[in-house]
Amino acid sequence: MRRSVVRLLSTRRHWSSIEVKDEVKQGLKRNAVVALESTIITHGLPWPENLKTAQSVEEIIRAKGIVPATIAILDGKLKVGLTNEELVRVAQAKKAKKTSTQNLAAVIVESRLDSEIIGGTTVAGTLLACRIVGIDIFATGGIGGVHAGGEHTMDISADLIELGRSSGIAVVCAGCKSILDIERTLQVLETQGVAVMGYQTNELPTFYSTSKQLKPPIFAKDANFVAQWLDTSQQLNLPGGALIAVPHNDDSIEIAVQQAKEEAKAITGPEATPFMLQRIAQITNNKSIQANVALIQRNATVAADIALAKQPVQIVVFGVAALDHHHYHDNKVVVTSGGVARNIAEAAGRAGANVTLVSAIRKGDISHFDCSFCQYVQDETDMPNYQAHYDAFGSVTKESFFDGTQTYNDSLLKAVRTCIHKDRSKKLIILDADLPEPAFDAIEKYLLELPHTTLWLEPTTPTKASRLCRFLPYASLATPNSVELEAMAQTLGIQSDCIEQLAYTIATKTRTTLVVTRGHEGILVATPGNQIKTLHTTPIPLSFPNTTLGAGDTFVGVTAAAWIRLFRMDSSRLVDALSLGMKAAALTVQSPVSVHPSITPEWLDNTY
């Protein structure tokens, strides 16, 4: 969150004029709010289209796990976030006042005296509210600008001035309305220090169309780019905000715009835009209203995508925690925490990621699980365990793994069901194959409800790898070893004697990136439809005892942490994250524990 709502609004003076909805306060704690103006409701669209549009835009934003905050003045308060009843009041207002920076305080006072007076905030008024409470993404239809003849009349929208004051805030819109003097509007924005971006376009959007002559100064290729701009701008404390112009082309409406513009030459001031919008609707037989609704919804979608891209990704590891028993030749037994899921969670956590381990751990054994991750603790359950016996030279002479009883599987299922919820926060889920089938069923249902979740599959053994094939339609990544890959291929009915061909075919067929671990030979990376890449590793001498236990889990955990922390889950940088994961695995190979203790956020940053 850019600033604390509690700190800003804790005084009686602030609370007397501003009211922030509880849902918005909670959203601000995770920096997941998109602001919406209300002039479009009070002055831009007729009843009941205005209410339906406002509700649909809020729902579009909520569907992506982001909180919408429609801003308006009601009952003597600047309200940030409205209830549905308040939306209805705004949409039906008979005494609605277009509220910008210069009259915002006056409208608040007037609405205290007359509850029927409602202020519909303009872009400028909404930006002011965003600065007060700390919202950094705002979606609207379009912004005001320099009106025709503005070089003589000085008829320049306050929207431009407020954009110049709104440090680190992005306004997502369809650009400047084409009824304005676009070139002079751009010049004012440049003078005010506002970053003007074309969203996935090199032609400047001008509401219903794009300009063939004018190009946006900055090309924003996607939501990630804008999210990174916000982070960078806020770190540098740059003075101006950003205008994110989203293209929406409709040439037939643009013809009507030019006709209305000609008819409105004699009208100046705040009445000019409402007159032209009404004339455009008449000329197009209300087609422009439908176009307005579509572009507002499109802008809201882009704004929510940007807010989503800004979210810190939480890693959630579903799977088994186990106890590793190491039996040495001198009859000494050392018990350590283990299990594929637990090891992955520890490695990711040590590398600085935000991790939740969803597993079942017997309370009596909790002392062995000294990691600081969120864990589900269940009494009366038999822990899975790994038994390894070593000779005097540290070589494994005997090993076995106990999967746990039905009681443990029931506890795992309870853990999964308890931790699966619909908060829709951004997650990278890592799923190991040791879970019981009912837990898989619950997770699959969860994935269907949360389409924006990234899924990573970690087969644990060849016999269990095939169980994960059901998740391939949802998965972005899978990290089998060569033998596990062959088991998955057999389940999918794919045959080849060549590991590279198997990986390529499965990746192409399932649209899942496969990272095949091959021990000292390195890894193969197969992305859908692309060539195989091979990353080599340097042979590493084994530690005492001579075991690679935990190396693969360290590889997965550190790769995930690096991909999130350093590369914002950019698919083009996955190979860089994998290289860091391989270096971390090499450390664990030289350690007697499952995850090398020297792996830290600082180690990751310095190694990168």
Mean pLDDT, to the nearest integer, of 454-478?
Answer: 90
Higher pLDDT, 594 or 179: 594
Q: Positive or negative CA dihedral for 83, 88, 89, 90?
A: positive
CB-based contacts of 572: which residues, under 8 Å, 6+ apart?
none
Dihedral of the alpha carbons of 222, 225, 226, 230, in degrees to the nearest 10: 160
Q: Positive or negative CA dihedral for 312, 317, 318, 321?
A: negative
| pLDDT cut 70: percent of the chain above it | 79
State the residue for tokens 């059901």. 470
State the distance between the two ends of the chain, measured CA to CA, in whole angstroms. Answer: 27
Least confident segment among 60-69, 478-487, 523-532, 561-570: 523-532
Least confident segment among 49-63, 217-231, 367-381, 462-476: 367-381
Task: Decide: residue 251, CB within 10 A, 0-12 exposed, 13-18 middle, 19+ buried.
Answer: exposed
Mean pLDDT, to the nearest integer, of 287-295?
Answer: 85
Nearest to 181, CA basis, from 261, 94, 287: 261
Contact 358, 316 (CB under 8 A): yes
Amino acid 3: pLDDT: 44
| pLDDT cut 90: percent of the chain above it | 45
Mean pLDDT, to the nearest integer, of 553-568?
Answer: 92
SS (H, E, C) 541-553: CCCCCECCCCHHH
Amino acid 409: pLDDT: 61
State the residue for tokens 């409208």. 107
Contact 562, 568 (CB under 8 A): no
| Full DSSP string of 341-368 | HHHHHHHHHHTT-EEEEE--B-GGGGGG
Contact 245, 216 (CB under 8 A): yes
Contact 415, 377 (CB under 8 A): no
- For the stretch 58-116, pLDDT in tens is 999 998 889 999 999 999 999 999 999 999 999 999 999 999 999 999 999 999 999 99
pLDDT category of residue 540 using cuts at 50, 70 and 90: low
Maximum mean pLDDT: which of 265-279, 337-351, 491-505, 586-600 = 491-505
- For the stretch 122-159, pLDDT in tens is 999 999 999 999 999 999 998 988 876 667 667 788 89
Mean pLDDT, to the nearest integer, of 469-481?
Answer: 91
User: Is pLDDT of 522 > 50?
Assistant: yes
Contact 558, 348 (CB under 8 A): yes
Dig out the tokens for 272 from the structure.
């000019």
Q: Positive or negative CA dihedral for 318, 319, 321, 325?
A: negative
Least confident segment among 153-157, 358-362, 594-598: 358-362
Dig out the tokens for 382 from the structure.
């038999």
User: Is pLDDT of 567 > 80?
Assistant: yes
Measuring CA to CA, how many Å separate 306 from each of 57, 77, 199, 354, 397?
A: 15, 29, 11, 21, 54
Mean pLDDT, to the nearest integer, of 286-303?
Answer: 89
User: Is pLDDT of 584 > 50?
Assistant: yes
Cis bond upstream, residue 545 (ω within 30): yes
User: Is pLDDT of 337 > 50?
Assistant: yes
Dig out the tokens for 531 from the structure.
């060539």
0.75 exceeded by the pTM?
no
Largest CA distance in the chain: 99
User: Is pLDDT of 559 > 60?
Assistant: yes
User: Is pLDDT of 563 > 60?
Assistant: yes
Neighbouring C-beta atoms of residue 103, cutoff 10 Å:
16
Q: For all residues of the chain together, what is the average pLDDT? A: 82
Amino acid 152: pLDDT: 67
Domains of the chain: 5-310 (3.40.1790.10), 314-607 (3.40.1190.20)
Amino acid 376: pLDDT: 45
Amino acid 16: pLDDT: 77
Active site residues: 37, 177
How, if at all, do strands 513-517 and 523-526 pair?
antiparallel
Q: Positive or negative CA dihedral for 552, 554, 560, 563?
A: negative
Nearest to 226, CA basis, from 189, 200, 191: 200
Measuring CA to CA, how many Å separate 187 from each of 213, 278, 436?
A: 15, 28, 62
Contact 529, 508 (CB under 8 A): yes
Long-range contacts at 213-221 (CB < 8 A, ≥ 24 apart): 214/182, 214/183, 214/186, 216/245, 217/186, 217/190, 220/244
Query: CA-to-CA distance for 87 and 522, rounded, in angstroms?
Result: 58
Least confident segment among 151-165, 229-243, 258-272, 421-435: 258-272
pLDDT category of residue 329 using cuts at 50, 70 and 90: low
User: Is pLDDT of 438 > 60?
Assistant: yes
CB-based contacts of 423: which residues, under 8 Å, 6+ apart?
65
Amino acid 23: pLDDT: 94
Mean pLDDT, to the nearest integer, of 311-324?
Answer: 79
Q: Angle, to 10 degrees, between the axis of helix 287-310 and the axis of helix 272-283?
A: 120
Task: Decide: residue 566, CB within 10 A, 0-12 exposed, 13-18 middle, 19+ buried.
Answer: middle
User: Is pLDDT of 286 > 60?
Assistant: yes
311 by DSSP, 3-state: which?
Answer: coil
Amino acid 312: pLDDT: 79
pLDDT category of residue 555 using cuts at 50, 70 and 90: very high
| Full DSSP string of 511-554 | T-EEEEE-GGG-EEEE-TTS--EEE--------SSB--TTHHHH
Measuring CA to CA, how many Å separate 520 from each of 545, 582, 585?
A: 18, 10, 11
